[in-house]
Amino acid sequence: MNDPNHLRSLQERIALYEDMQAYHELYNLFFHNLHRFCFSFVKSAEAAEEIVSDVFIKLWQIRNKLPEITNLKVYLYQIAKNFCLNYITRHFKNPVTSLDEINIETVISLDNPEELCISADLINTIQQTIRQLPPQCRLIFQMVKEDGMRYKEVADVLQVSVLTVRNQVAIATKKIAETLPAYIGQRQRAEGKR
């Protein structure tokens, strides 16, 4: 998903040739991360899935403008965020939700062998620490560390400064790092008793 040349190729195939295979590939590349992102706003898996589908319907409707879009990932996240905020306004008759009020669940993916070696206890400890982060900090951490977005991309989507993104990632990383020595000491004491 992070290969800009591949994304550019998919954009052009969709725009110039109305290539459904490219469209489906793009959908599959972004569905999971966009769904998780939308869920963090709307708190409903079904609504999040519907919103992601609407994002891709919108993308198909404007396919002739795709070559003009310089960063498709940021563009998709911006559409998704706008659709989420519209959904919240429409369904809850409330003003737009502040990022500080958003509560998200973060999932740690185990994509490589090194991460597979981490025990389930440690993963649980890290997940607990992430869940305790302030909502905006959690969302930014998820977008940078799990979705692989650059600071600038996250700043564009959330309409905050790059410095804010950098600071929030630093805060999250520090909090996670602070829990690890306590966890490691606890594990060593438990293993010493055996």
At 185 the pLDDT is: 54
User: Positive or negative, the Cα torsion across 164, 68, 24, 89?
Assistant: positive
Q: Are residues 88 and 164 in the same domain?
A: no
Q: Are residues 134 and 182 in the same domain?
A: yes
Q: Are residues 55 and 115 in the same domain?
A: no
Q: Choose one of 75, 96, 117: the last residue of a domain.
A: 96
Q: Choose one of 96, 121, 152: the last residue of a domain.
A: 96
Containing structural domain, residue 60: 4-96
Give the pLDDT mean for 67-89: 92
Q: Are residues 37 and 25 in the same domain?
A: yes
At 176 the pLDDT is: 83
At 100 the pLDDT is: 46
- What residues contact 51, with CB distance under 8 A and at least 6 apart? 38, 42, 80, 83, 84, 87
**How many independent structural domains does the chain possess?**
2
Side-chain-side CA neighbours of residue 91 (13 Å): 13
Comparing 56-65, 85-94, 119-128, the range with the smallest average pLDDT is 119-128
Q: Are residues 64 and 113 in the same domain?
A: no
Q: Are residues 114 and 184 in the same domain?
A: yes
Q: Are residues 182 and 110 in the same domain?
A: yes
Which one, of 7, 149, 10, lies nearest residue 74 by Cα?
Answer: 149
Give the pLDDT mean for 79-84: 94
pLDDT tens digits, one per residue of 8-37: 999 999 999 999 999 999 999 999 999 999
Q: How confident is the model at residue 98 (pLDDT cuts 50, 70, 90)?
A: very low
Residue 191 has pLDDT above 80, yes or no: no
